[in-house]
Structure 1
Amino acid sequence: MLAARVLPSLLRRSMPSVAVSASRTFSSCTAAAASESFLRAKDAIKDLPERPGNDVMLQLYALFKQATEGANKSPAPGMMDFVGKAKWSAWHDLGDISKEEAEARYIALCKSLGADVDGTGAAAAATATDAPAAPEGEYTTLIVERKENGVVVATMNRPAKKNAISMDMYLELQRVMAETAADPKARALVLTGKGDWYSSGNDLSNFTENMPAGGPGEMAKNAAALLKGFVASFIDFPLPLIAAVNGPAVGIPVTTLGLCDFVYASHTATFETPFTRLGQSPEACSSVVFPRIMGRARANEVLLAGKKLTAAEACEWGLVNEVFSSTDFKAQVAARADAVAALPPQSMRLSKELINSTQQAELHAVNAAECVLLQERWVSDECMGAIMAFMSRKK
């Protein structure tokens, strides 16, 4: 499921009202009946008491487009058009299935969600035969493990790139958080990295490749929207969120730790936020959360001066709960995650909601303000020069 704040209401925004053609390969009587059900389904899905998750919304969007326009022959959007890319991919993945099949699957999916497709005046009960086959989507930048006790482990899986966060990884991290939050069996989410690094932060090719038609200004606007939604996923995540920092972390993998509920670190981990060196500014609410966690003086050392913390220092300064040897790090984290998962789930969820209730609105406001400033910084000469100099040193 793609995160709700990055891929908002695809159905309401993207599905035009269309007249379904009566020119079908099957009988006109069957076509008319199917078209009537299709149009009822399109309207009925808007009346559901709860909006479906974004993975379902993408399926609805793709099937609707396939049923009304046929196979996706349009060019792919640029990589910075995150919403457009997700919608295009969902439609493109349907391949050459017929309009009739897409229409039937759209109707079945609406029924499975409880939409009043048959016009009975009450939501139709979902049955196993109503629901179309919808295997869980695969991840390309994460390894996601769902344990029987409800612990979900999402491992950033770009070890050759030190788990640098690409645009796809941003979307997939939001997706796994949204899926886990919506899963009634889930009890906690663990974020970690594969290999020696937790994450080296933003993949700087995000800023240097595939520039959109609108140039750097459009790129910065799109990136700020993505970042805002990404951080909002942390702010709003309703279950225990556990960071297992298995190695060095740089940039946003560090700042988002302040929004996690439990942070455990390997003794090999380090923590660095080189914002000013790159002509940028803090994100992930760290401008407010870090001073509260470690005090203003120490937060200034981290956020302004770019001081790199060892695992022991991060623990002493309050950013990390516990530090373990790398030899038994995974086992130690697993034991603590299992212990959290064993606690009464409703009590855990409500307690976290209570703890966060006094600051949630503030954090969203801080997130928005930080993204506005970053959007400005990303197009500044200072930032562009710093990034290009950094890229040159890497070559």
Structure 2
Amino acid sequence: MTKRNSIPPMKEEFAAYRRELHQNPGLMYEEHFSKEMVEKKLSEWGIPFRAGLGKTGIVAIIEGQKNTSGKTIGIRADMDALPIEEASNQPWASKTKGLMHACGHDGHTATLLGVAKYLKETRNFNGRAILIFQPAEEGGRGAFAMMKDGLFEGDLKCDAVYAYHNWPYQPIGTAGIRSGAIMASVDNFDIAITGRSGHAAYPHNCIDPVMIGASLVTQLQSIVARNVPPQECAVLSVTNFNAGTGAYNIIPDTAKITGTVRTLSPATRDLVEARMKTICEEVGKTHNAKIDFHYDREIDPTINDARHTDIIADAAARVLGNENVYRDIEPSMGGEDFGGMLAKVPGAYIRIGQGVPGKDSPHNRGLHNSGFDFNDDILPIAIDVFVEVIESQLPLE
């Protein structure tokens, strides 16, 4: 299930690194064990690197046998873990209480280390490869922190950049991709309602923020159902509604509502935010309450460039077989800060299947599940796909 015969024997070495990373997780910007391992291995293999981009981020630079093409290809892997207590029962389970690699970023890091070692040993390309070990994908905007510190500038400029995610919802031996939006934008909102408190027996003397908030939640849900065109994708989820003192007989002064919005297009994103703002203003006027609406655009959609989608899909097909590469998969309404990199440099994001027969396997558990574990059998596949991406675009001949 690989193109290069020399890659499968690498599996055990990089599976061992992956399991060590899994045992020693770090939250966003605290990926100290991962950072130290990456730096140690790059140093052992004689690969120059730059540390400290985005605090704990690392960029390795590998030159091919020739560098007359003038082109540079970037590959990115994320390194951070999640605040979840592990329940996978694997021998290499997390040693840190309350933290685990529940999204497979340990595997992504091990994959990129494998790409680094292979490229350094063979150098079978004409140009440069930039390998990006990124911190803080899980809500920390690590991609933006690295770019703020100079990623994609000066000698770190790239002509294209690629990344992948392990995908437990897809069988091992397959890959999935689509041109255009493959992951959604991530926006968060906070709504503060200020009314007038009083005795619950005399509601006519109060401005009830609980009733106003309940009305507001219902009206917000109408936006996707009645304002977003049916052919577009959008999610608006209210995730917190807090009010009251705990007393049975007091109408409180304030209520707070928070939640998230996910969209795949800039136009839908603008529409949802504008409608939310209008509804908050009108509900406030109707009930004579003060409503403060705050909307944060956290992460842009991950939008695959059409040309680079074909490049990585074709590379995956040469590794896995064309019949095993799904080229028009459904987009995910989850978010990914790699979209920020793709907004600056053209490229693509692909999913590589890791699911196996048997529903109880940790490789089939959903991402962010306490029983999840990365499938080490996809390490040779992912390494080979990215090597193929580089060597096919930067041929020596």
Q: TM-score, normalised by structure 2?
A: 0.25
Q: Select the structure with the greater relative contact order (CA < 8 A; seq sep ≥ 6).
A: 2
More strand by share: 2
More helix by share: 1
